[in-house]
């Protein structure tokens, strides 16, 4: 199982409302994250992911790119809360120890209705 595979499966499980399973399978001890809206521990983020999935049961999560550099994996994705939502371009950066996620950063940019850039966000 590669680190890219683990990052992909972690996000897919969390997006589908299975954050407890995602954390159980793929997160290591002393996990921390850097989302400014939640305390920096695993339990807080896991519960926030679960609540997001419950609030938005029709969430659409599409991965466009996955990059690996030694113990870091970056996932560039499109997250929509429902089919009519324009969504956001999101980058998750995972730091691994062995085959477990021990640190996570996430950054997002809302997709505007109109864009000047002809290349799109993906």
- Give CA separation, 26 vs 30, 84, 90, 101, 102, in Å: 13, 31, 20, 6, 9
**pTM for the full predicted model:** 0.94
How confident is the model at residue 70, as a pLDDT?
Answer: 97
How confident is the model at residue 118, as a pLDDT?
Answer: 93
pLDDT tens sequence across 34-88: 999 999 999 999 999 999 999 999 999 999 999 999 999 999 999 999 999 999 9
């Amino acid at each position: 199982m590669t680190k890219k595979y683990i990052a992909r499966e972690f996000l897919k499980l969390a997006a589908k409302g299975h954050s407890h399973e995602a954390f159980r399978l793929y997160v290591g001890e002393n996990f921390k994250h850097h989302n400014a809206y939640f305390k920096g521990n695993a339990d807080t983020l896991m519960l926030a992911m679960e609540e997001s999935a419950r609030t938005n049961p029709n969430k659409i999560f599409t991965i466009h790119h996955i990059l690996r550099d030694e113990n870091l994996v970056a996932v560039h994705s499109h997250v929509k809360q429902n089919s009519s939502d324009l969504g956001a371009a999101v980058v998750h950066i995972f730091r691994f120890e062995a085959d477990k996620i021990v640190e996570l950063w996430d950054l997002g940019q809302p997709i505007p209705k109109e864009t000047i850039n002809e290349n799109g966000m993906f």
